[in-house]
Structure 1
Amino acid sequence: MTIKKCTLDDVVELQAVSKDTFTETFQEQNSPEHLNAYLERAYNLAQLERELANPSSHFYFVLYGQQIAGYLKINTGNAQSEEMGDESLEVERIYVKKAFQKHGLGKQLLNKAMEMALELNKSKVWLGVWEENDNAIAFYQKKGFVQTGAHSFFMGDDEQIDLIMTKSLH
């Protein structure tokens, strides 16, 4: 298992793993129309290039053997999807392909986010998780995250609720 920082040169691979993991995770609970609308908006190449170019956002691949098994996106400052202040780091995306789950890769990606938060002198890490994603909620609770709020997330024009979960580092 290796964690590798993504660059603009990785945008095509990032798009592929983003679409694959998001689809695997949410296709059962969402209409194809809503899912496809989200994929086109969130993971088009121009959008991903803008995100990769933002100095306050960082993407990392997790490799299992030589294969890209998943990825992590973290944000600080004004790149955060909610106004959480300069002392916060957001884990915006943490996804592992189904074929590579149960190997501890999600835990390794979360550990990488925590390392980055400490390196950047952040006092808390936060993330949004779909209120119906019981496995992810349980995983984050086990890692010391607590629910501190909620916000809307749109899958196409379908409004859903993400729980905001936070972990203090000090």
Structure 2
Amino acid sequence: MPDVHLMPCTLAELYTLQDIAIRSYNDHYLYLWFDGGAWYVDRSFKEETLQEELTDPNAVFYLIYHDGELVGFLKLNLHQELESHTAEEALELERIYLTKAASGIGIGRKVVEFTKEVAAKLNKRMVWLKAMDSSRSVNFYEQNGFVKCGTYTLPFEQMKPEYRGMYVMKMEL
């Protein structure tokens, strides 16, 4: 099993978060975009956006370390309703981003386990997420206990249309 540690990320680590977010995103997702991802990276990972998200009381970020090296981050929305589950009952796993070098070696599985532990401490009944329907991540989440429960289409005109589809997936706790 890989040696994985998740550390809470605060405003003090904004630039560390920004760096790992851009590196991990660039490792995996640039092909989705007509502009090679420039619009999305600017929109999602600029200083102002991350500062706003880091100060949102509903959102928590964790920096992911493997063998002492920063390899990714996790973003959770602590109180996010889905279907028949209220915000008090449901937690959204919004992002697990890992660098290419850290992918496929068991780190993601540890991060999902960590997410379930956070949800249990908050007395949540469900964890849910959105995964790209064209991505291998759907199989990963299914192997880790999530089931498809809906679909969603991303509204980004800058994104190639064939990649805009998402599955909504959930795991009852």
Same fold (TM over 0.5): yes
Aligned to 2:55: 53
Mapped to 2, the partners of 1:112 and 1:90 lie a distance apart of 13
RMSD value, Cα: 1.9
Say which SS state the counterpart of residue 164 (structure 1) adopts.
Answer: strand
Partner SS state of residue 123, structure 2: coil
Which residue of the other structure, out of 3, 6, 22, is the alignment partner of 1:3?
Answer: 6
Select the structure that is richer in helix.
Answer: 1
| Equivalent residue number for residue 110 of structure 1 | 112
Using structure 2 for the length normalisation, give the TM-score. Answer: 0.88
Hey, what does 1:17 align to over in structure 2? 20
- 1:82 deviation in Å? 6.8
Structure 1 segments unaligned to the other structure (5+ residues):
none
Q: Which runs of 5+ in 2 are unaligned?
A: none
Superposition map of 1:21-40 within 5 A: 21-31=24-34, 33=35, 35-40=37-42
Tell me how far apart the structure 1 counterparts of residues 93 and 153 of structure 2 sit (CA, whole Å).
16
- Is 1:165 matched up with 2:173? no
- Count, aligned residues: 165
TM-score by length of 1: 0.89
**Segments of 4+ in structure 1 off by > 6 A?**
none
**Contact map agreement 2:14 2:51 (CA 8 A) in 1:** yes
After superposition, the Cα gap between the structure-2 partners of 1:47 and 1:61, relative to the gap in structure 1 and judged at 3 Å, is same
8 Å contact from structure 1 (residues 35, 156) kept in 2: no
Deviations 1:108-145 (A, max 9, x none): 11111110110001100000001100x21111111111
Identity %: 28
- TM-aligned CA deviation for residue 66 of structure 1: 2.6
